[in-house]
């Protein structure tokens, strides 16, 4: 006959070890991922404390990132995670995304590829297909709008420079940043990525609109055409073509 597992309720732990009290006493940064998740779960199930359940979730989905990306159907298979808790969990994730977006858009300037990455990385890194977006900026590099242009492989879903220019003119943009993801996680640009970027730089410069960057988002990494010197290189190529 299997032995019963005895789990002491978190309420019976010393106050300084309880996740909620520990957070209030030492701050949220002092808690482990499991402790933070346990505060959200509030209670466990028979034989499991909230900490045990949190650790099980993190183990099952490998990390917080994996847990955040888990579909609702998979979460429903975990004992102790009901529909109400799943709905709350997904709502918290969405609020976090909107908080990051709101904070970023309230900034006066977009100053570097890292700024754009902080805003779009969480949203785009785990997508299972390529998505191409344009960040439209005014003359002071303030975000006017972010527009999703296309989904699918950039070799199949073509990016037409004239359509990008029309979009930029519609919003009176002074500068642009292009962003797309590589579902493979590898951020090295393909030859097609380079060709599309060069064509876009050429088309925009011809009407006096600057392209600040094209950023490829991968798995815990990014590639910036501007940081690699390619945006400047393409601009010089256009100057050379137009020189007498």
- Given this model, what pLDDT does residue 12 score? 61
User: Which residues constitute the domain of residue 226?
Assistant: 109-242
- Full 3-state SS string of the chain: CCCCCCCCCHHHCCHHHCHHHHHHHHCHHHCCHHHHHHHHHCCCECCECHHHHHHHHHHHCCCHHHHHHCCHHHHCCCCCCCHHHHHHHHHHHHHHHHHHHHHHHCCCCCCCHHHHHHHHHHHHCCCCCCEEEEEEECCCCCEEEEEEEEECCCCCCCCCHHHHHHHHHHCCCCEEEEEEECCCCCCCCCHHHHHHHHHHHHHHHHCCCEEEEEEEECCCCEEECCCCCHHHHHHHHHHHHHCC
**Residue 233 and residue 123 in one domain:** yes
Q: What is the CATH number of the domain that holds 45?
A: 1.10.150
In a domain, 5, yes or no: no
- Given this model, what pLDDT does residue 213 score? 95
> Is residue 156 predicted with pLDDT exceeding 50?
no
**Residue 172 and residue 200 in one domain:** yes
**Residue 62 and residue 117 in one domain:** no
**Residue 94 and residue 125 in one domain:** no
Q: What is the pTM of this model?
A: 0.59
**Residue 196 and residue 149 in one domain:** yes
> Is residue 133 predicted with pLDDT exceeding 90?
yes
In a domain, 87, yes or no: yes
Q: What is the pLDDT of residues 56-88, one digit of tens each?
A: 888 888 888 888 888 888 888 876 778 888 888
Q: What is the CATH number of the domain that holds 236?
A: 3.40.140.10
Domain limit, last residue, from 100, 135, 156: 100
pLDDT band at 7 (very low <50, low <70, confident <90, very high): very low
**Residue 125 and residue 95 in one domain:** no
**Residue 96 and residue 127 in one domain:** no
In a domain, 1, yes or no: no
> Is residue 128 predicted with pLDDT exceeding 50?
yes
- Check if the beta carbon of residue 221 is closer than 8 Å to that of residue 184: no
**Residue 232 and residue 154 in one domain:** yes
pLDDT band at 4 (very low <50, low <70, confident <90, very high): very low
In a domain, 3, yes or no: no
> Is residue 173 predicted with pLDDT exceeding 60?
yes
Domain limit, last residue, from 49, 73, 100: 100
**Residue 128 and residue 222 in one domain:** yes
- Given this model, what pLDDT does residue 16 score? 63
Domain limit, last residue, from 100, 117, 145: 100
Q: What is the pLDDT of residues 34-49, one digit of tens each?
A: 888 888 887 766 777 7
pLDDT band at 1 (very low <50, low <70, confident <90, very high): very low
- Given this model, what pLDDT does residue 178 score? 96
Backbone φ/ψ region at 147: left (φ over 0), alpha (ψ -120 to 50), beta: beta
In a domain, 69, yes or no: yes
Mean pLDDT, the chain, whole residue set: 82
- Given this model, what pLDDT does residue 6 score? 37
Averaged pLDDT for residues 22-33: 85
> Is residue 112 predicted with pLDDT exceeding 80?
yes
Highest mean pLDDT among 13-22, 60-69, 82-91, 195-204: 195-204
For the chain, how many structural domains are there in total? 2
- Given this model, what pLDDT does residue 5 score? 41
By mean pLDDT, which of 3-7, 19-23, 82-86, 101-105 is the weakest? Answer: 3-7
Averaged pLDDT for residues 133-144: 89
Q: What's CA 140's distance to the chain center, in Å?
A: 24
């Amino acid at each position: 006959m299997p032995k019963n597992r005895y789990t002491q309720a978190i309420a019976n732990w010393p106050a300084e070890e309880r996740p909620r009290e520990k957070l209030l006493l030492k701050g949220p940064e002092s808690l482990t991922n499991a402790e933070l998740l346990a505060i959200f779960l509030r209670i466990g199930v028979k034989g499991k404390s909230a900490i045990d359940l949190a650790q099980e979730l993190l183990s099952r989905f490998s990390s917080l990132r994996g847990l955040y990306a888990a579909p609702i159907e998979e979460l429903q298979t975990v004992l102790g995670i009901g529909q109400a808790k799943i709905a709350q969990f997904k709502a918290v994730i969405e609020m976090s995304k909107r908080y990051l977006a709101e904070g970023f858009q309230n900034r006066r300037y977009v100053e570097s590829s890292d700024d754009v990455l902080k805003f779009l990385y969480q949203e785009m890194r785990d997508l299972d297909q390529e998505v191409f977006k344009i960040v439209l900026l005014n003359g002071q590099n303030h975000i006017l709008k972010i527009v999703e242009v296309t989904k699918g492989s950039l070799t199949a879903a073509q990016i037409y420079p004239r359509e990008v220019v029309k979009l930029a003119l519609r919003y009176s943009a002074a500068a642009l940043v292009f962003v797309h993801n590589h579902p493979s996680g590898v951020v090295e640009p393909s030859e097609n990525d380079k060709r599309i970027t060069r064509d876009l730089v050429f088309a925009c410069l011809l009407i006096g609109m600057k392209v600040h960057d094209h950023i490829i988002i991968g798995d815990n990494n990014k590639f910036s055409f501007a940081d690699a010197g390619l945006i400047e290189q393409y601009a010089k190529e256009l100057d050379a073509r137009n020189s007498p």
